[in-house]
Amino acid sequence: MTSEQWTSSPATVPDVAGAVPQPPAENVAGPELDDAVARLSVALGRLTRALRRGSGTGLGPGSVSALATLVTHGPMRLGDLAAREGVAPPTLTRIVASLEENRLVTRQPDPDDGRATRVQATPAAHEVITGLGTSRFAQLHARISALAPAQREALLQAVPVIETLAADDLPERPRSD
């Protein structure tokens, strides 16, 4: 299908930048899918960085992620936190040391194993994560509100798909090309 055919199709919606509409999803494969994946990856990275810049916490993304995990899931061993975050234990040790220095986490003996240590978010950490969420939510809301109505509708339609992509338990599917 050519780009001229896409533009004449009434089922197409302009992309976020208002560029030439994309082909219907069932026709996307091979190089077209590869291009869309690359564009989405770049766009999500840029959006994430833009939202992060406006948060003003002074924490890096690894620190924010680890802190949010502790706030959400409660105290855990360093090894368990490293596994959940997908980072090497030495990297997590540096992250936790920085968070501890900023009084956002405390270390305590593991009640199940006195040789192990558990890390726990402090009340200040809960405030940071709550405020961070509020700040990022407001920034994202403003960006979405600034979109053209058709772009906003296309994005709202895509939210369930994006949630599926972001799920931890998304099964891998073999490529069909």
pLDDT in tens, 73-101: 999 999 999 999 999 999 999 999 999 99
Q: Is 18 exposed, middle or buried (0-12, 13-18, 19+ CB in 10 A)?
A: exposed
In this structure, is residue 84 part of a structural domain? yes
In this structure, is residue 78 part of a structural domain? yes
Q: Residue 67: give the domain boundaries.
A: 61-122
In this structure, is residue 137 part of a structural domain? no
- Measured CA to CA, the distance from residue 144 to residue 51 in angstroms comes to 12
In this structure, is residue 88 part of a structural domain? yes
Confidence bin at 11 (pLDDT 50/70/90): very low
Q: Is the pLDDT of residue 29 over 80?
A: no
Give me the CATH number covering residue 98.
1.10.10.10
**This prediction's pTM:** 0.56
In this structure, is residue 77 part of a structural domain? yes
Q: Is the pLDDT of residue 137 over 50?
A: yes
In this structure, is residue 18 part of a structural domain? no
* Contact status, residue 147 vs residue 155, Cβ threshold 8 Å: yes
> What number of helices (H) and strands (E) belong to the chain?
7, 3
Q: Which amino acid is at 102?
A: N
- Measured CA to CA, the distance from residue 159 to residue 165 in angstroms comes to 10
Q: Report the number of distinct structural domains present in the chain.
A: 1
Q: Is the pLDDT of residue 108 over 80?
A: yes
In this structure, is residue 112 part of a structural domain? yes
- Measured CA to CA, the distance from residue 152 to residue 13 in angstroms comes to 10
In this structure, is residue 86 part of a structural domain? yes
Greatest alpha-carbon span in the chain: 68
Average pLDDT, the chain: 81
Confidence bin at 60 (pLDDT 50/70/90): confident
